[in-house]
Amino acid sequence: MIEVILSAESTEGVVKQMQAYFGGEITERWGEHTLMFDNQIAKGCVRCITFDWGVSLLEIDALFYDDILFINDNGNSNPIHFSYCSQGFYKNRFENETEFHTVEQFHSSIIVSKTDLKLHTFFPKEIHLILNDIRIIRTEFLKKRNNQLSELNENLYRVFVDDKDETAFAYYSPIHLRMEDYVKTLRDLKTEGMARVLHIEGEVYHLLSMHIARHDKYQSNEAIPNSLLKDELKIIRRHAKKILDDPSLSYNLDQISRDSGLSQAKLQEGFKFLYARTVTEYIRHVRLEAARDLMNTTDLNISQIVYTIGFTSRSYFSKIFKEKYDMTPHEFKKQVVVVNMEDEEM
């Protein structure tokens, strides 16, 4: 196991300390620092960006080839960590504890240590980990005139105003699927320059509000909405793959619910989360993609294709095909024939 000591006060400093252990190169653009590495120790990247008032974002997207133990030794400047695990899992504990707490995929946590109490974070080997960590330096954040701390619940309020780092705090949230949508937005962001920085900052504060709202529900003993477990997501992926592998079969929500053992509500929630579509929309999407592939690769006519992919109405198929691809099946098929003839002439 490799022990990595992190003692830097700034997030940029943390990334430089990681570089000392994992190698690689650090680049900077628009205030974002990115460490890329690919060697016998690990493959992946770590990136960070810092905003005003002690708020920063650190993201880890990596596969480690040995167990890694991060030892956070920040002395008197322990940041509050609002963390979310998008892929894989990791473990946390304070150094005075004997047991680690596992943070599973799609779970979040709020953790802060105290003076002279180290925070240990364990990353297992051979597990692709994607971790989003919003860090807040309290001494800086307290200077912000409109920080709205008075609106926090009592426990979080004490955490934020504890600028002397006298109390350790840890909250581990149940699965939080909606947060992944916003974390994914950060990963997929394509804008550049100032627009990118402002967009990232906005998403960071949105994520912070979601972390705080989840803890509020816990603190006030409100029931957190039923969400999907990791095993249930695996079941949904398995049934989605079955549809993808053979779209011609007769699928419907009631049947998939019976076969999977999941309620229709959970199926809908899971398909929307994983594929941004309802079950019916996913089935239709897969069949239309299959139809387009058949038009490109076979000599089947439209009617044959309609029944091959599981539709029973050619008129309905033509309607939804045009809605999706902005042309009728006949127009698409004709276009394919023209392209194939041009290829043959070449």
- Residue in 188, 4, 224 with CA at minimum distance from that of residue 108: 224
Residue 178 or residue 294, greater confidence:
294
| Residue 184 in tokens | 């994914």
| Residue 144 in tokens | 């912000």
Q: What is the pLDDT of residue 172?
A: 93
Asked if 204 and 70 sit in the same domain, the reply is: yes
41: Cβ–Cβ under 8 A, 6 or more apart, which residues?
A: 2, 21, 22, 23, 64, 65, 66
| Residue 68 in tokens | 């890694």
Beta strand 32-38 with 108-112 is: unpaired
Asked if 244 and 212 sit in the same domain, the reply is: no
CATH of the domain at 303: 1.10.10.60
With tokens 């900052």, the residue in question is 201
Asked if 213 and 70 sit in the same domain, the reply is: yes
Q: What is the pLDDT of residue 336?
A: 67
Lowest mean pLDDT, pick from 79-83, 108-112, 218-222: 218-222
- For residue 146, being part of any structural domain is answered with yes
Q: What is the pLDDT of residue 252?
A: 87
| pLDDT tens readout for residues 8-41 | 888 999 999 999 999 999 999 989 999 999 999 9
88: Cβ–Cβ under 8 A, 6 or more apart, which residues?
A: 105, 124, 127, 128, 129, 130
Asked if 46 and 124 sit in the same domain, the reply is: yes
Give the rounded percent of residues in the chain with a pLDDT score beyond 90: 42
- Residue in 65, 58, 27 with CA at minimum distance from that of residue 43: 65
Domain, as residue range, for 281: 230-345
Q: Give dist(CA 58, CA 296) in Å, integer.
A: 44
Number of domains in the chain: 2
- Of 197, 219, 241, the residue that ends a domain is 219
- For residue 93, being part of any structural domain is answered with yes
Lowest mean pLDDT, pick from 31-35, 94-98, 335-339, 341-345: 341-345
Q: Using the 8-state DSSP alphabet, how is residue 27 labeled?
A: E
Q: Give dist(CA 18, CA 12) in Å, integer.
A: 10
Asked if 212 and 267 sit in the same domain, the reply is: no
Residue 194 or residue 150, greater confidence:
194
Asked if 187 and 330 sit in the same domain, the reply is: no
Asked if 106 and 214 sit in the same domain, the reply is: yes
Average pLDDT of the chain to the nearest whole number: 87
- For residue 225, being part of any structural domain is answered with no
- For residue 183, being part of any structural domain is answered with yes
Asked if 172 and 295 sit in the same domain, the reply is: no
CATH of the domain at 11: 2.60.120.10
Asked if 12 and 148 sit in the same domain, the reply is: yes
Neighbours of 136 (CB within 10 A): 20
Is the pLDDT at 346 greater than 60? The verdict is no
Give the 3-state secondary structure of residue 96: coil
Residue 217 or residue 305, greater confidence:
305
- What is the pLDDT averaged over residues 106-117? 90
